[in-house]
A = this chain, B = another copy of it.
Amino acid sequence: MSDFLSRLAAIVGPQHLLTTDADTAPFTLDWRRRYQGAPLAVSRPGSTVEVSEVVKLCRAHKVAIVPQGGNTSTCGAATPDGSGRQLVLALRRLNAIRHVDTDNNALTVEAGVTLQEAQQAAEAAGRLFPLSLASQGTCQIGGNLSTNAGGVAVLRYGTMRELTLGLEAVLPDGRVLSQLQGLRKDTTGLDLKQLFIGAEGQLGLITAATLKLYPLPSAHATAMVGVGDIETAIDWLNRLRDRFGDRLTAFEVIDASCQQVLRRHHPSLMPFSAPWLILIELSDGGDPAPLNDALVEWLSAQTMTDGVVAQNETERRKLWTLREEISESQRKDGPSIKHDIAVPTSALPRLVRDCATDLDQAFPGVRIVAFGHAGDGNLHYNVSYTRPGNADLFDDEDAVNAIVYDHVYRLGGTLAAEHGVGQLKKDWLARYKDPLALELMRTIKTALDPDGLMNPGKWL
């Protein structure tokens, strides 16, 4: 191994090869603190060429690679195992904004650029890069791609997959596949980028991407309203789309329990109370006033229990802060069993009712905190207080998951909507995913990574 490490140091530079526990610590514990790994080392290559050389070296020495971006995975997808034999490959030093093409509405960035840096590069060019998530200051484009990240603007702009025009990736044998031309139409064969998006680094390492840019909206109209049930929310969603088309850029829902959590930790921000709150945002070019008027006019014809339309940017930011503070408020509120589930939007009301009924029967007094992206059928669905005082919660994790996922799959849904699978949901994937689909994925994995060195121990 010392021969391997000295060669590795020669490639990335000794200062970018971390081997002591103190140096590697920031890379070995996952964001939710559920997985603690023990790596062989952490390497921080500074270019695609260096990544390629590291991969070739690892292949020659049969060393497994765990790629890591901002280390914000909620599923342990970027954490090495405890064997002391896996190399963490941290991409942060690949942080160049390579190219902004405003006429082609395309942005080429390296994998280690944070989502926020990508957003800023777009904005500096008078364009929008629309992916938006709570961890955007830390998470990196390579990780966003590897988990096919979603967030609050998917309703309008799609997930990371739909925002990607092309990739540069280092294959398991170290060769570099480069498809960064920024074409919007190309039918010359298979669309190879699709293999790497959402693959959590198990088929190769993404080193750069060309992303779609959009016009920067000059007008927003934002409202927070309360409605009586989730059925009404879905009805509003469709009527808002009919009326405003793709000017409807966000449609987030927050259930009553989640509102209580927010009220506890942000009392001043939280004057609302309703069975379900909806955060609605319209975006457009041109003047903001008519957009705001149109939203007010539409809302005034609806029945609602509570509601406010933001009158200025400060009020708009306040409404969004409320949405963005949910995760942190929940963390302060104690542990919960978390689910990142999606069903067809039409099935969301049934999911909400049926899950609640069965969980309450199995665990009387259970608390369910649900919020998320109703426009995509995606709920973050968190279960706690299955026992008095929320004690030994995780002893019930398997039973809770089985209830939730049984309903999700009965309704044609998925157990991983936008956070990926990683280590956390690997066994659940094996239980719920179509075996034929899993077999096909493994066939492709074996064909591309016969030595199994790309992020092993995850779901593939």
Most chain B CB atoms below 10 A, which of A103, A347, A373, A433: A103
| B101 close to A346 (CB less than 8 A) | yes
Residue numbers in B under 8 Å from A244 (CB-CB): 285
In the complex, whether A39 has a CB less than 8 A from a CB of chain B is: no
The smallest C-beta distance from A348 to any residue of chain B, in angstroms, reads 9
| B197 close to A191 (CB less than 8 A) | yes
| Selected contact of A184 from candidates B101, B376, B415, CB within 8 Å | B376
A262 CA / B188 CA spacing, docked (Å): 30
| B188 close to A433 (CB less than 8 A) | yes
A35 CA / B247 CA spacing, docked (Å): 46
Query: Which of A12-20, A45-53, A356-364, A443-451 lies at the interface?
Result: A443-451
In the complex, whether A198 has a CB less than 8 A from a CB of chain B is: yes
| A378 close to B185 (CB less than 8 A) | yes
Residue numbers in B under 8 Å from A147 (CB-CB): 187
In the complex, whether A123 has a CB less than 8 A from a CB of chain B is: no
| B104 close to A344 (CB less than 8 A) | yes
Query: Which of A174-182, A221-229, A264-272 lies at the interface?
Result: A174-182
| A444 close to B447 (CB less than 8 A) | yes
| Selected contact of A187 from candidates B177, B245, B417, CB within 8 Å | B417
A294 CA / B349 CA spacing, docked (Å): 39
Query: Which of A1-9, A83-91, A110-118, A234-242 lies at the interface?
Result: A234-242
| B183 close to A346 (CB less than 8 A) | no
In the complex, whether A437 has a CB less than 8 A from a CB of chain B is: yes
Question: Interface extent on A, as a size class?
Answer: 35 or more
| B183 close to A412 (CB less than 8 A) | yes
| B421 close to A188 (CB less than 8 A) | yes
Q: A436-460 vs B: 1/0 string, CB under 8 Å?
A: 1110110110111000000000011
Given A184-B377, A188-B416, A413-B183; A215-B245 close (CB under 8 Å): yes
In the complex, whether A34 has a CB less than 8 A from a CB of chain B is: no
| B345 close to A103 (CB less than 8 A) | yes
The smallest C-beta distance from A406 to any residue of chain B, in angstroms, reads 15
In the complex, whether A286 has a CB less than 8 A from a CB of chain B is: yes
Given A162-B162, A185-B414, A344-B101; A437-B192 close (CB under 8 Å): yes
A37 CA / B190 CA spacing, docked (Å): 25
Given A181-B412, A342-B185; A192-B440 close (CB under 8 Å): yes
| A416 close to B187 (CB less than 8 A) | yes
In the complex, whether A105 has a CB less than 8 A from a CB of chain B is: yes
| A187 close to B419 (CB less than 8 A) | yes
In the complex, whether A246 has a CB less than 8 A from a CB of chain B is: yes
Q: A246-288 vs B: 1/0 string, CB under 8 Å?
A: 1100000000000000000000000000000000000111100
Nearest neighbor of A147 in chain B, beta-carbon distance:
B187
In the complex, whether A158 has a CB less than 8 A from a CB of chain B is: yes
| B183 close to A414 (CB less than 8 A) | yes
Residue numbers in B under 8 Å from A438 (CB-CB): 189
Residues on A facing B (Cβ under 8 Å): 101-106, 126, 147-148, 150, 154, 158-159, 161-162, 171, 175, 177-179, 181-192, 194-195, 197-199, 203, 214-217, 234, 238, 241-247, 283-286, 342-347, 373, 376-378, 412-421, 425, 429, 432-434, 436-438, 440-441, 443-444, 446-448, 459-460
Residue pairs across A and B with Cβ atoms less than 8 A apart, 19 shown, are A103-B234, A103-B345, A104-B377, A105-B241, A148-B187, A159-B184, A177-B434, A178-B434, A179-B434, A182-B344, A185-B376, A185-B417, A188-B425, A189-B438, A190-B444, A192-B441, A444-B448, A446-B447, A447-B447
